Amino acid sequence: MEAATTGRQLSGEKAQRIVDAMRTCVGTRGATGATFDHVAREAGVSRGLLHYYFGTKERLLAEVVRRDCDLRMERLSATAAGVGDADALLGVLGQSLLELVDENPEFFVILLELHTIGQHNAEVAVELAELHRRVRAHLAGLLVAARDQGAIRLDGDPEVIAEVLFSIADGLAMRMLAEPGRDFGPTVEAAVRAARALVLPA
């Protein structure tokens, strides 16, 4: 995946417009219907520029997820900083999930699409594995910091616990997308109670 962007400056304003346009198109047309033609029109750029920056639709989808994950981790770091106990930390994680599904449901739609593509595309599979490794390590780092500050105890390896927490969150997100009108507050609260078996009071 890195080879596709060698020599390309993906931090530019046009590249960000393309990423935002893909996210918007997925929200209105679904991942399958979000073609390069639609994305180019939404971003106000040529189709050729999409190919120049990203090469394929799959690489563009992966870049959307990568950038959204970075924002998700930044927000999580900010909200989790200085939490006083296990309940507060788990509450932050639960609230973060509700906000993400409400504000950016396309994130999970694209992530699911990439998982499907990755079953038949080794390049996408490698990219997804690295993405999951990064977010797992990030959350594990937050857990370790809270533990070292005396706010929580961990019943297991931090990265394993982070993996379980993300698995719960991702599974709940898929159900929320399937039933958008349903109140999932009680379900998230139950998930937080279940997570207390791994993230314990100090």
pLDDT tens digits along 59-78:
898 888 888 888 888 888 88
Angle 139-140-142 from CA coordinates, rounded to 5°? 65
Q: How many domains does the chain have?
A: 1
CATH number of the domain within which 46 lies: 1.10.357.10
Q: What is the mean pLDDT of residues 10-23?
A: 83
Cβ neighbours, 10 Å, residue 133: 11
88's CB contacts (< 8 A; 6+ apart) are 151
Name the pLDDT band for 176 (thresholds 50, 70, 90): very high
Residue 6 has pLDDT above 80, yes or no: no
**Which pLDDT score, from 0 to 100, does residue 7 have?**
37
Predicted TM-score (pTM) of the model is: 0.84
Q: Which range of residues forms the domain containing residue 67?
A: 2-201
**Which pLDDT score, from 0 to 100, does residue 157 have?**
98
50 within 8 A of 44, measured Cβ to Cβ = no
**Which pLDDT score, from 0 to 100, does residue 11 have?**
56
Residue 112 has pLDDT above 90, yes or no: no
